[in-house]
Chains A and B, each alone.
Chain A
Amino acid sequence: MKGDQRAGGRTWRDRALAQVPAHLLNACRGVKYFIMSAIGSIGSRFPHWRTLLQYLGSLRWTVACLLWMCVLTVWGTVAQVNPEVGLYGALQRVFRSWWFRGPVGLPLPGMVGTLAVFFVNLLASLFQRFRPIRCYVGLWVLHLGLGLLLVGSWVGVHHARESTVTLAEGQSTSVGVSSHEWELVIIEPVGETRRRVHAWDLRSLRPGQNLPLPGMPDGATVHRVWSSVEWSGSQPPSPEALRSARHVDPERAIPAVVLRVGTDRFALVGEGDALRIPRRDTTDAVFVHLRRTRHPLPITIRLVDFQKEFYPNSRIPRSFESRIEVFDGRSQRPVVISMNRPFRYGPFTFYQSSYIDHPDGPEISVLAVSENRVRLLPYVSCALMFAGMVLHYLSPGRRR
């Protein structure tokens, strides 16, 4: 084998390198020299940096982070069983938090906080521990893939948006409705058939914030904001009856806002009735209410037909299929969305999520919409990580 590789007095590596243009090879060597000398000079000229890197890149931190992530994974999974918490509650509390309150109010690092420490530990150990020799190539690739995965996850969490489109046969829409985000909207009629809509993300509202109301010089002032409320007594509740509800699944949570308009206070609770405020300048009125956040879609979709099939003589589902028409402003085309066969449009993915049976009316299809501009990052990073593992396990240097 060795003899084969060295046929002609040169190794396969030499022959491969001979194919690379000399200036490219020299440039690569230069970059490699620069990086290695930079790392070396950091270590030799700034010994305290080296100590810091050693501390931050310690494998003790790595093991501690991994074990704590195990605990958080179990914690977040078991938390989902509680119907008052659910998947989104567990996401907010454990998986997408920097820290959270554990038993007896003890502050504990959440998954984001732990991953941040893990990322710093990874960077520090990459600088401090890995050497540019062949037997470490696999570990380099594996850990670079891991770093990319962490960065990709971070970007994905902050830039991905999820919503649903619920359509009866024959209906069309160009907005997706979020299942757990809310917005406060002011609707201003403009002419006979048009309305102007002003929307504020509920999370961005703060007490004391002024909201401009058309036809009202003083506007409306936000008095209080709750992400989840409960109340006893009358329906709809008065502002005084509302109190904060804790540990509620964000999908089921009912938010509330108390607005002050002039001297009066009004409570907007969940998707209740809209508040009608007469304008002072005209005889018209504006409407204020809370609703689940609408995310505009770049296309209009119309549900032509929804079909569900079961295996014969059973209730085992065989397929769910929505036949839709997509209009993107220029052309209209038919599309079929079924299980394992989503429809993609740019960063948007539409997939068959659910359906609602109507014995008397038309069938209703529920499509989930996911908007993610870094969708392929996890693919790349996972491929890198697996390739790194394989390289590492097969590395001849490691075997020695």
Chain B
Amino acid sequence: MKRSRVRSTVFAFWAVLTVAWAADADRRMLRAFEDLVVLEGGRPMPMGTYARLAMWQICGRPSWSGRSAAAWIADLIFDAEKVHGQAWILVNHPDVLDALDLPSDPPRRRVSHLELQRSLPTLAKLYREASERPSNERTVVDREFLRLGAALELYAGLSRNDLPAVWPQENAEHSPWLPVSELGAAGPAALEVANLWRALAKAWRERDRERVLQLVSDIRRRTLAQCSSIAHLDVRLNVESWMNRWRPFSWAIAAYVLAALAWLALSAPPGQWGRWTIGSGMMWAGWLAHTVGLAARTFIMGRPPVTNLYSTFVFVGWVVAFAALWPRRPEVRRPVGIVVAALAAALLAVAARYEVEGDVMAKVVAVLDSNFWLTTHVLTITLGYSGCLLAGALAHWALWVAGSRGPADASPWFHTVRGYLAFGLALTFLGTALGGVWADQSWGRFWGWDPKENGALLIVLWTAAVFHARAGNLIDEAGLAAGAILTVPVVLTAWLAINLLGIGLHSYGFSQGTFAGWVTASVAEVVAAVGLWMRARRRRLCETVRPV
């Protein structure tokens, strides 16, 4: 009995070790696969990034069924038969399922390539019809046909090894790259690499870990040697692989949420170990992770921190979080910490949503190809957005305090709101003016009433109106705070809603799908501004008529 127990314990231990070793072997193979170098959207990137992008497009998620994007894409490239039967291709609309003669219950589901096989001619026809329709006349179903068609095209390209592009034709920065299927006819060096890829596919199918690691290392070395003209490419790829693994922005979100919760929940008296230490510590940890992520992005892209809509959220979140690090007095630090940590986490969470739309470190278009103007105009105006958002967020607290404890207690908060709003006004104005200078340099005119320019002007006009109303005693401090809250929808309009119009010269900023979020946030802010202002006003009136 005793011996059998020992034996079974040893067996269990061995089994666990074996599973752990096998899992580790799989993980090491996947990591090696993620380090391969490919070209997508005009920029060399690690296969890990490419796999995530492909996975978003095919599956609508970065992982599925407990397997990472790299695992799915590696199987699709090296062992397509294995995944053809797996239901992982997203179909987002029941009408599309109906049109393809597939069961539409549930209405949004994932199907396998085998299921779709017999509907491919129908899909090709519907795809063609949708693509021929003018973009402003396309319905949701048309857009879904287009999305699904593109996803299946990508799927087919990956399974035939027509994608991704893995080998630069020449050692030049802007030379085209070739996929594995075309390497055979591209010269002796490319042929050798093609053979290595075939060997890699075989080793992958056989789960030959050592061989996979060795082949990946060899392919990567040769690819980097072939594009040695691109400065610091190996370091950039390593940093990007590191970012893919550690995801500093996810850590930052977690830290900000924890900081907000700590400040909210722990009730140690001011000055003692407790919420101050934990809250501040988490805030600092989150901000450092945020800074590392931002710095890594800047280094990988070789551009200033803000180049696209995604990066505006990341940068504004970073600036906003920075504001929470400085208040010294505990009675100030706690509310600022709660509001700002929640705001920073929300901004990073919104930024993560843009990963669905494609590469968040995509190459900038020709008109934006100016690091000087990206640094001056774009950063300045984004700082202006940050100031206005901070003022709006803290105004909620200021009005809450005014409504609860009276305007005297809220006075320092009103002062802080005014300061941030003034900062927002000054920086938005400067950013708008610098944008005018850039427009003059690029388009030959300072101001052209382009929608994006109008958005920035709207913020300047609104904040100026709030300040002038206060200067003329048309509103009191509570009115100024309510005006600061209303600045939030104005900023969101300039920042997001303008991009939905799809017109103007700032076409590189166009986006879709944020309409519902913009409307919800704007309505909520208007309701909050009116509600909190009325509450504060009632409190002040009560104090005025209080009997002695």
Chain A interface residues (CB < 8 Å from chain B): 58-60, 62-63, 66-67, 69-70, 73-74, 76-78, 80-81, 87, 90-91, 95, 153, 156, 160, 162, 309-314, 316-320, 339-340, 342, 349-351, 353, 368-370, 372, 375, 378-379, 382-383, 385-386, 389-390, 393
Contacts and interface: CB of A to CB of B under 8 A. Distances in A.
Contacts of B365: 316-317
A319 B367 CA distance: 8
A77 B451 contact: yes
A59 B175 contact: no
B445 A370 contact: yes
A385 B451 CA distance: 23
B41 A316 contact: yes
Contacts of A375: 440, 446
B458 A312 contact: no
Interface string B426-467: 100110010011101111111111110011011001101100
Given A313-B177, A319-B369, 9 more contacts: A63-B474, A74-B458, A81-B501, A153-B447, A313-B39, A317-B365, A340-B367, A375-B440, A386-B426
B457 A73 contact: yes
B425 interface: yes
B50 to A, nearest CB: 12
B441 A342 contact: yes
Contacts of B438: 340
Contact of B501 (A80, A311, A379): A80
B165 A313 contact: yes
A63 B498 contact: no
B243 interface: no
A312 B444 CA distance: 29
Contacts of B504: 80, 87
B447 A378 contact: yes
Nearest to A111: B449
B43 interface: yes
Interface string B402-438: 0000000000000000000010011001100100111
Interface in B144-189: 165, 174-177
A313 B436 contact: no
A368 B429 contact: no
A309 B174 contact: yes
Contacts of A63: 465, 468-469, 472, 474
A349 B425 CA distance: 31
Interface residues on B, range: 35 or more
B362 interface: yes
Nearest to B464: A66
B373 interface: yes
Given A73-B458, A77-B501, A312-B39, A351 B444 contact: yes
A62 B436 contact: no
Nearest to A86: B503
Contact of A340 (B39, B442, B468): B442
Given A312-B39, A351-B442, A370-B444, A70 B461 contact: yes
Contacts of A77: 449, 451, 454-455, 498, 501
Contact of B366 (A312, A319, A349, A368): A319
A80 B451 contact: yes
A316 B42 contact: yes
A388 to B, nearest CB: 10
5 contacts: A74-B493, A87-B504, A313-B42, A339-B369, A378-B440
User: Which 10 residue pairs across A and B have the least CB separation, nearest first?
Assistant: A311-B42, A59-B472, A370-B444, A382-B433, A66-B465, A349-B444, A314-B42, A378-B446, A317-B366, A339-B366
Interface of B: 39-43, 165, 174-177, 362-363, 365-367, 369-370, 373, 422, 425-426, 429-430, 433, 436-438, 440-451, 454-455, 457-458, 461-462, 464-465, 468-469, 471-472, 474, 493, 498, 501-504
A353 B426 CA distance: 31
Given A59-B469, A63-B472, A386-B426, A95 B449 contact: yes
B422 to A, nearest CB: 6
Given A58-B472, A81-B503, A389-B425, A316 B441 contact: no
A340 B43 contact: no
A77 B461 CA distance: 15
A316 B444 contact: no
A340 B174 contact: no
B320 to A, nearest CB: 20
B462 A314 contact: no
B469 A76 contact: no
Contacts of B444: 162, 342, 349-351, 368-370, 372
A62 B165 CA distance: 59
Nearest to A350: B444
Contacts of B502: 81
B166 to A, nearest CB: 11
A69 B363 CA distance: 37
Nearest to B163: A313
Nearest to B462: A70
A388 B461 CA distance: 17
Given A60-B472, A311-B174, A318 B363 contact: yes
Contacts of B436: 378, 382
Contacts of A386: 426, 429-430, 433
Contacts of A60: 472, 474
A370 B465 CA distance: 33
Nearest to B39: A313
A160 B440 CA distance: 13
Contacts of B458: 70, 73-74
A249 to B, nearest CB: 11
B461 A66 contact: yes
Given A81-B503, A390-B426, A312 B174 contact: yes
A59 B366 CA distance: 44
Nearest to B38: A313
Contacts of A162: 444-445
A121 to B, nearest CB: 10
A73 B443 CA distance: 21
Contact of A91 (B176, B449, B493): B449
B416 to A, nearest CB: 14
Contacts of B468: 59, 62-63, 66
A351 B165 CA distance: 35
Contacts of B369: 318-319, 339-340
A113 to B, nearest CB: 16
